[in-house]
Amino acid sequence: MLKSIKSSLSITIVGAVLFTSIIVLWLAINEHEKLYVGAVSKDLSTLTRHFSSELTPILSAAPVRAHRIDQILSELQGLDNLVYARVFNQSRQPLATLVGRAGRKQFQTDGITDEEQGLGFVTVHSRQTGTSVEGGRVISFERIGSQAVPQGYLMVVNDISGPVQNSRRNLLWQTMPLVLVGLFSTILACLYLLKRLLSPLYSLSHFTRLVRENKDYSLRFSDHSDSEVRRLGEDINSLMEAMEVELTINQEQNLTLVEQQETMTRLANFDSLTGLPNRQFVMDNLRLELARSSRTEQDLVLMFFDLDGFKGINDSLGHETGDLILIEVADRVSSLLTESDLLARLGGDEFIIIPDGDCSDTSITNLSNRLITAFSQPFELRGLELSVGISIGIARASDADYELSQLMSNADLAMYRSKAKGRGTYTVFTPDMVDAYKRKLSLANSMDQAVSNSEFVVYYQPKVAGTGRIIGFEALIRWQHPELGLVMPGEFIPIAEQGGKISAITRWVIDRVCQELSVLQQQIDSRFRVSINLSGHDLRDAGLFDTIHSVFERYQVEPEYIEFEVTESAYLENFALSNKFFRRVSNMGCAISLDDFGTGYSSLSYLTQISIDTLKIDRQFICKLETSERSRLVTGTIIDLAKRLSLTICAEGIENHRQWEYLLEHGVEHFQGYLFSEPVPLAEATELSQTFARDTSQRMALG
């Protein structure tokens, strides 16, 4: 209750006014009483002296006449408040006593019969003359006669308590209304004043409440009085100004923070180049999606793809062009998807699609075909037409137990299958791919050991001329794996390339071929060449030429006996380096042949810029010679082209006489294939050379 200023001040003021009034009243009553008692004492003293002088002759006479004394005393009977009056002789012995009205009243009320006790007679033996107030009585004691010759004494005792009480009551009755009026007016005046004084404070309180409720810090408090509240209001106003400024700064900072947060979220979840969701975003969402699919037992499909030949474009045309292609790819793929399908870029040239809704085989196959077809159109960038294909790997969540890493790895496996199959294909993951993958892992892990333990062996496949005479061999590596048996190069060479082991293997093959060359030379009288296959990685190996040179020296190899085969794509992916390397090798006397020709690049203009001796027509055209008009056309064109460029033509993969004859008729000079011999170990190769000419002529005769 006393917490508010108003109530505290009100109570204090009312209390103070009341207290002051009571004190003043009390003092006034006291003063009034004093005056009253003083006046009564004075009157009684005068009265006593008057009667003393009247009694003087009576007491001076001898004998003293008692009735005269009583007569005089009886005159005092009219006094209202007289308790008693007594006359004493010179020896202060009472001579006469008059009991007054007050005395009798007291005597009766107290019910005391003993007069002495009831009236409370005052002893006078040693009493001095004069008037005094004792125990609510005024006692006047005067001498009768002169001081020199006293005749006796008169004592008049008047009751004063009753009159004083009456007088006090009267005074109160008379003054109380006035006092009360004064008191209430003072209190009301004080309260009014207080209200007026506190009203600015109330306005200030109302103002602050308004600010708090509306949160509007632009409001200002106005008070035109000259009170402290005005100054307080001004202080609050300046505080509000400061708060408003701070608030504006805070709002601006908040806005910046929100923008920064949005940017960070965008950067964290979206790819800045294509604007597509990034790996982080996809992984987070995919995890949730997989949990949901697992609960509802609905399958989910993940399509993982990367671009074929993107690395070549990036390396040859620069990253800027590569970036433009990635943006175009994002646009092209997005246009084939619905709003609810998710397309994301995982990094580099890797993307994923999570189709929404229909996950049936037909739907996924359709989408994959649409994607592949979309990439059959070249990208037109900066006046160039760039062909980029895609290899797609498709995996289902149900095959991965709805586990994210497993699903990703399955899609990855399927995608690498597509890559291995050739450009622009898709592969749906099947559980047996895991076994293949495990085998691949096992090969990758044991490759180091294979190199150091020399677990490889070189097989030789003869190349023959139109007459059937052996004009060379292709050295083809095999891996005699201690657990897996004979592993073919088509399987482990790509693994070696990915694992960075290909240089060691190539060096091993060069060394082994040069070492075994003398054995072949002993059996074959005529000139021949042994072809060694090089991979694209070898062309980037700066020390390879020196290795070849030193191996040739070590085994005293004539370079004319050696040919290097490199695929068209490997050559073109490392164009400058390949040119430099092959020019040096060619200058040394080795021959160079372009392997698997016709499968890679469609542009042939580069052929005039490279130094090669032979074009090897790929097996895929040869095996379809009899059935496909297109293969016959391509083969014919390659032969024609090679002739125009004065290049030797070698056809590989010849399995029957019809193919051989057809190629012979069309001017092919060298032939390689199972018709003549499969790749065989060195020992068989030497024997082969002995009997080969006879056997082939027989086969031709039979054909």
The nearer residue to ligand C2E, 198 or 509, going by C-beta atoms, is 509
Please give, one letter per residue, the 3-state secondary structure of 169-208: HHHHHHHHHHHHHHHHHHHHHHHHHHHHHHHHHHHHHHHH
How near is the Cβ of 622 to Mg ion at its closest, in Å?
10
- Residue 643 is classified by DSSP as H
Distances (CA, A) of 670 to 464, 633, 681: 6, 19, 21
For tokens 């810090």, the residue is 217
Alpha helices in 305-360 (DSSP H): 310-317, 319-336
Distances (CA, A) of 45 to 69, 90, 140, 142, 459: 19, 20, 6, 8, 166
142 binds Mg ion (CB under 5 A): no
How near is the Cβ of 569 to Mg ion at its closest, in Å?
12
Query: In the set 289, 516, 595, 613, which binds Mg ion (CB under 5 A)?
Result: 595
How near is the Cβ of 672 to ligand C2E at its closest, in Å?
6
Measure the CA–CA gap between 448 and 220, rounded to whole angstroms.
83
How near is the Cβ of 462 to Mg ion at its closest, in Å?
13
How near is the Cβ of 290 to ligand C2E at its closest, in Å?
39
Q: Among residue numbers 494 through 523, which ones bind ligand C2E (CB under 6 A)?
A: 506, 509
Query: In the set 476, 572, 590, 634, which binds ligand C2E (CB under 6 A)?
Result: 476
Task: Give the residue from 153, 109, 160 showing the smallest Cα distance to 134.
Answer: 160
The nearer residue to ligand C2E, 156 or 510, going by C-beta atoms, is 510
Query: In the set 596, 635, 668, 692, which binds Mg ion (CB under 5 A)?
Result: 596
Query: In the set 306, 308, 349, 595, which binds ligand C2E (CB under 6 A)?
Result: 595
Considering CB under 6 A, how many residues would be counted as binding ligand C2E?
24
533 binds ligand C2E (CB under 6 A): yes
Q: How far is CA 96 from the centre of its chain?
A: 117
The DSSP element (H or E) to which 384 belongs, if any, is: strand 384-386
Query: Measured at CB, which residue is nearest to Mg ion?
Result: 565
β-partners of residue 331 are: none
563 binds Mg ion (CB under 5 A): no
How near is the Cβ of 416 to Mg ion at its closest, in Å?
21
Query: In the set 668, 679, 688, 689, which binds ligand C2E (CB under 6 A)?
Result: 679
Query: In the set 159, 271, 573, 596, which binds ligand C2E (CB under 6 A)?
Result: 596
Task: Give the residue from 48, 37, 72 showing the smallest Cα distance to 130.
Answer: 48
Beta strands, E only, 59-200? 82-89, 94-99, 130-134, 137-145, 150-159
| 91 contacts: CB under 8 Å, gap ≥ 6 | none
DSSP structure string for 546-613: HHHHHHHHHHT--GGGEEEEEEHHHHHHTHHHHHHHHHHHHHHT-EEEEEEETSS-S--GGGGGS--S
* Partner interacting with residue 493 (select from ligand C2E, Mg ion, none; CB below 5-8 Å by kind): ligand C2E
- In the stretch 520-559, what mask flags binding to Mg ion with x, by CB under 5 A? -------------x--------------------------
397 binds ligand C2E (CB under 6 A): no
Query: In the set 289, 516, 565, 573, which binds ligand C2E (CB under 6 A)?
Result: 565
Position 291: which residue type?
A
How near is the Cβ of 536 to ligand C2E at its closest, in Å?
9
How near is the Cβ of 505 to Mg ion at its closest, in Å?
14
How near is the Cβ of 476 to Mg ion at its closest, in Å?
7
Q: Among residue numbers 264 through 323, which ones bind ligand C2E (CB under 6 A)?
A: none
Measure the CA–CA gap between 312 and 325, rounded to whole angstroms.
12
How near is the Cβ of 620 to Mg ion at its closest, in Å?
10
Question: Strand, helix or coil at 624?
Answer: coil
Measure the CA–CA gap between 535 and 6, rounded to whole angstroms.
100
* Partner interacting with residue 158 (select from ligand C2E, Mg ion, none; CB below 5-8 Å by kind): none
655 binds ligand C2E (CB under 6 A): yes
The nearer residue to ligand C2E, 309 or 489, going by C-beta atoms, is 489
The nearer residue to ligand C2E, 44 or 617, going by C-beta atoms, is 617
565 binds Mg ion (CB under 5 A): yes
Stretch binding ligand C2E (CB under 6 A), from 39-47, 78-86, 667-675, 694-702: 667-675
Measure the CA–CA gap between 105 and 688, rounded to whole angstroms.
174
242 binds ligand C2E (CB under 6 A): no
How near is the Cβ of 330 to Mg ion at its closest, in Å?
36
β-partners of residue 97 are: 86
Measure the CA–CA gap between 410 and 416, rounded to whole angstroms.
10
125 φ/ψ angles, rounded to the nearest 5 degrees: -50, -50
Query: In the set 306, 512, 653, 669, which binds ligand C2E (CB under 6 A)?
Result: 653
The nearer residue to ligand C2E, 88 or 479, going by C-beta atoms, is 479
How near is the Cβ of 565 to Mg ion at its closest, in Å?
4
How near is the Cβ of 487 to ligand C2E at its closest, in Å?
10
Q: Among residue numbers 159 through 218, which ones bind ligand C2E (CB under 6 A)?
A: none
Measure the CA–CA gap between 291 and 162, rounded to whole angstroms.
106
* Partner interacting with residue 524 (select from Mg ion, ligand C2E, none; CB below 5-8 Å by kind): none
Q: 598: left (phi > 0), else alpha (psi -120 to 50), else beta?
A: left
446 binds Mg ion (CB under 5 A): no
535 binds ligand C2E (CB under 6 A): yes
Query: In the set 91, 362, 490, 576, which binds ligand C2E (CB under 6 A)?
Result: 490
Stretch binding ligand C2E (CB under 6 A), from 51-59, 158-166, 637-645, 653-661: 653-661
How near is the Cβ of 476 to ligand C2E at its closest, in Å?
4
For tokens 């996924």, the residue is 364
Angle between helix 489-498 and 432-445 (nearest 10) = 70
- Residue 378 is classified by DSSP as P
Beta strands, E only, 405-455? 426-428
447 binds ligand C2E (CB under 6 A): no
Radius of gyration from C-alpha coordinates of the chain: 68
Residues that bind Mg ion (CB under 5 A): 533, 565, 595-596
Chain residues binding ligand C2E by CB under 6 A are 461, 476-477, 488-490, 493, 506, 509, 533-535, 565, 595-596, 619, 652-655, 672-674, 679
